[in-house]
Copies of this chain bind each other. A is one copy, B any other.
């Protein structure tokens, strides 16, 4: 059986130096055709290096993000995803708004069959907030394991 190949024509970021976009709006998400278009599978990205700003105080916020999606016609190119996530560095947004907005941007760009995001934010006031968003139930017959990020436990 011949292995599928991935069409990378049209990519502008992969394998080249690229500065951090100044804002999410300026970030360009790039995509490649799904090499297994007739096959339903799930792709997971874990992004523990996420930071944004509090829209009220300007203080930094940090989160560990995990994104799962079932591609339709397109895969997201991972370097452009990294730059898109990095573009929140100087962007102010509340936890709930920011996490769901990332998911919706990816849905816009990729038209995946299904997508979800877990945003595991660092504690403020002794209480962390986690946000769990999915576009709907996991499609029948597709395998999507738990994200398994440990809960916050305080000390001891």
Contacts and interface: CB of A to CB of B under 8 A. Distances in A.
Interface of A: 1, 3-6, 8, 14-15, 17, 19-20, 24, 34-36, 39, 41-49, 51, 55-60, 62-64, 66, 71, 75, 78-79, 81-82, 86, 89, 93-94, 96-101, 104-105, 108, 116, 118, 120-134, 136-137, 140-156
B151 A149 contact: yes
Contacts of A59: 20, 86
B141 A149 contact: no
A138 B17 CA distance: 40
Contacts of A57: 15, 17
Contact of A133 (B41, B47, B93): B41
A140 to B, nearest CB: 7
Given A6-B94, A14-B56, A97-B6, A155 B141 contact: no
